[in-house]
Amino acid sequence: MRMVDLIEKKRDGHELTTEEIQFIIKGYTEGTIPDYQMSAFTMAVFFQGMTERERADLTMAMVESGDQIDLSAIEGIKVDKHSTGGVGDTTTLVLGPLVASLGVPVAKMSGRGLGHTGGTIDKLEAVPGFHVEIENDEFIRLVNENKLAVIGQSGNLTPADKKLYALRDVTATVNSIPLIASSIMSKKIAAGANAIVLDVKTGAGAFMKTLEEAKELAQAMVNIGNNVGRKTMAVISDMSQPLGYAIGNALEVKEAIDTLSGKGPKDLTELCLTLGSHMVYLAEKADSLEEARQKLQQVIEDGSALETFKKFLQAQGGDPSVVDHPERLPQAKYVVELEAKEDGYVSEIVADEIGTAAMLLGAGRATKESQIDLAVGLVLRKKIGDYVQKGESLVTIHSNFEDIEQIKQKLYNNIRISKEKVEAPTLIYGEITE
């Protein structure tokens, strides 16, 4: 087989065989296929697309390019959740304890990464003592015992995707549905999931800016998962404004605690109940989505979700007393209100710009080397559709530096107020189950 022939075949719009796709991914991972040929290939895919079969083959070839996590020692159906990313997305922190309380095993492998706030691990590390440096067998034991554990990324997972994603980044080929879908799905499958619930975001703060694109990506991922024997479904949810109120690491831990106690923001609670119902149903811990939702509401009301969260924190060295005393989480030195300059309805809270403001406070990493400040961030006081009076707080800013004029300006520029009544945006645009 010659790479040049395969580039030509795809360039001319033909379908590649399974063996041809395996040849490309293996050769690229091992370095026998150079970047310049792979660049030409990804550009051909960008314009010609890939069939369902090709997408499934590409995904599995990337899964097989490196280590695969074996979770077979964990009892039950391992359902993983993946979000395509957003601002102040606190769902993972809530969903873990929530579904674990119903016996769904959550074996979460997580990273840190770049972004407006830290990743799940950074957020959890806001709890004093909490750590994810645990051995694999300890991880498995904890999931069997508490149904929930989080471990840092280790091993050599999907090296083909790592290399390919970096190449796409500099060759204008990131934005291709078959390439994005196979990239995301390969990582989930290599991490050992039996079933996958996807939260595909749409809006200003999302990777997919329009609903059309989000639907297309969701359908592509659901098809890949189901074609390779992992039950997969997707929820399409709004990310035009940040999710919940809190954007920041310790602040989101507190928000997760509030939500697990039944006192969380409406949108975050609703999204967690929706995603959680699908996780519980796919894990076969309920016979219908309605039953799953009722059971989730029950574990919030009777306090068992909070209890699961405490046990989980304690098992990984964390101080469980933060659940009853959130003031023991890291606190910022300055807490400042951003006052509305006029009366009216909040009409826009541009998610990605608000996220950037949180990052400028130190809540997230701009580069791999940046240090995260776990205490800082933003807490929205109003969401789209809310009425605000002049002088009332729009946002509470938690900062460790005194001069926040620039950040205030950025927030004012990206929170718009209208005289006319504005409806709250739709939270869930749809679900794709097959």
Q: Does 249 bind Ca ion (CB under 5 A)?
A: no
Q: Which of 81, 82, 116, 398 is catalytic?
A: 82
The option from ligand URA, Ca ion, none interacting with 88 (CB < 5 to 8 A, set by class) reads: Ca ion
Helix, strand or coil, per DSSP, at residue 279: helix
Q: Which of 182, 183, 240, 399 is catalytic?
A: 183
In the complex, what is the shortest distance from the CB of residue 318 to Ca ion, in angstroms, rounded to a whole number? 20
The stretch near Ca ion (CB under 5 A) out of 14-22, 218-226, 246-254, 292-300 is 246-254
CB 59 within 8 A of CB 228: yes
Backbone φ and ψ for 209, nearest 5 degrees, come out as -75, -30
Q: Are strands 377-380 and 393-399 parallel, antiparallel or unpaired?
A: antiparallel
Cα 190 to Cα 171: distance, rounded to the nearest angstrom: 26
Q: Which of 57, 122, 161, 267 is catalytic?
A: 161
Question: In the set 50, 58, 62, 180, which binds ligand URA (CB under 6 A)?
Answer: 180
Please, is 27 exposed, middle or buried when counting C-beta atoms within 10 Å of its C-beta (0-12, 13-18, 19+)? middle
Q: Does 241 bind Ca ion (CB under 5 A)?
A: no
Q: Does 168 participate in catalysis according to the annotation?
A: yes
Site string for ligand URA, 88-107 (x = CB under 6 A): --------------------
Question: In the set 85, 86, 244, 320, which binds Ca ion (CB under 5 A)?
Answer: 244
Q: What is the largest CA-CA distance in the chain?
A: 70
The option from ligand URA, Ca ion, none interacting with 90 (CB < 5 to 8 A, set by class) reads: Ca ion
Q: Does 378 bind ligand URA (CB under 6 A)?
A: no
Looking only at residues 192 through 211 of this chain, which bind ligand URA when binding is defined by CB under 6 A?
207
Q: Which amino acid is at 135?
A: E
Q: Does 65 bind Ca ion (CB under 5 A)?
A: no
Cα 235 to Cα 432: distance, rounded to the nearest angstrom: 6
Helix, strand or coil, per DSSP, at residue 84: coil
**Over 363-381, what HEC string results?**
CCCCCCCCCCCCCCEEEEC
Cα 189 to Cα 287: distance, rounded to the nearest angstrom: 25
In the complex, what is the shortest distance from the CB of residue 107 to ligand URA, in angstroms, rounded to a whole number? 20
Residue 31, phi-psi category: left (phi > 0), alpha (psi -120 to 50), beta (remainder): left
Alpha carbon 259 to its chain centroid, in Å, reads: 17
The option from Ca ion, ligand URA, none interacting with 184 (CB < 5 to 8 A, set by class) reads: ligand URA
Backbone φ and ψ for 74, nearest 5 degrees, come out as -95, 130
Helices 159-169, 177-190: inter-axial angle, 10-degree rounding: 150
CB 25 within 8 A of CB 57: no
Site string for Ca ion, 69-98 (x = CB under 5 A): -------------------x-x--------
User: Per the structure block, which two tokens stand in for 210?
Assistant: 């329009």
Q: Does 141 participate in catalysis according to the annotation?
A: no
In the complex, what is the shortest distance from the CB of residue 31 to Ca ion, in angstroms, rounded to a whole number? 42
Quickly count: other Cβ atoms within 10 Å of residue 137's Cβ: 9
Which strand ranges, in their side-by-side order, compose the sheet holding 393-399? 246-248, 377-380, 393-399, 334-339
Size of the site for ligand URA (CB under 6 A): 7
Backbone φ and ψ for 233, nearest 5 degrees, come out as -140, 160
Helix, strand or coil, per DSSP, at residue 183: helix
The stretch near ligand URA (CB under 6 A) out of 11-19, 114-122, 180-188, 386-394 is 180-188
Looking only at residues 148 through 177 of this chain, which bind ligand URA when binding is defined by CB under 6 A?
165, 174
Nearer to Ca ion, 88 or 318 (CB): 88
Q: Does 82 participate in catalysis according to the annotation?
A: yes
Q: Which residue number places its CB atom closest to ligand URA?
A: 183
Question: In the set 29, 158, 173, 183, which binds ligand URA (CB under 6 A)?
Answer: 183
Nearer to ligand URA, 174 or 360 (CB): 174
Question: In the set 148, 151, 218, 246, which binds Ca ion (CB under 5 A)?
Answer: 246
Q: Which of 55, 108, 187, 365 is catalytic?
A: 187
Residues in touch with Ca ion (CB under 5 A):
88, 90, 244, 246
Residues in touch with ligand URA (CB under 6 A):
165, 174, 179-180, 183-184, 207
Q: Which are the catalytic amino acids?
A: 82, 161, 168, 183, 187
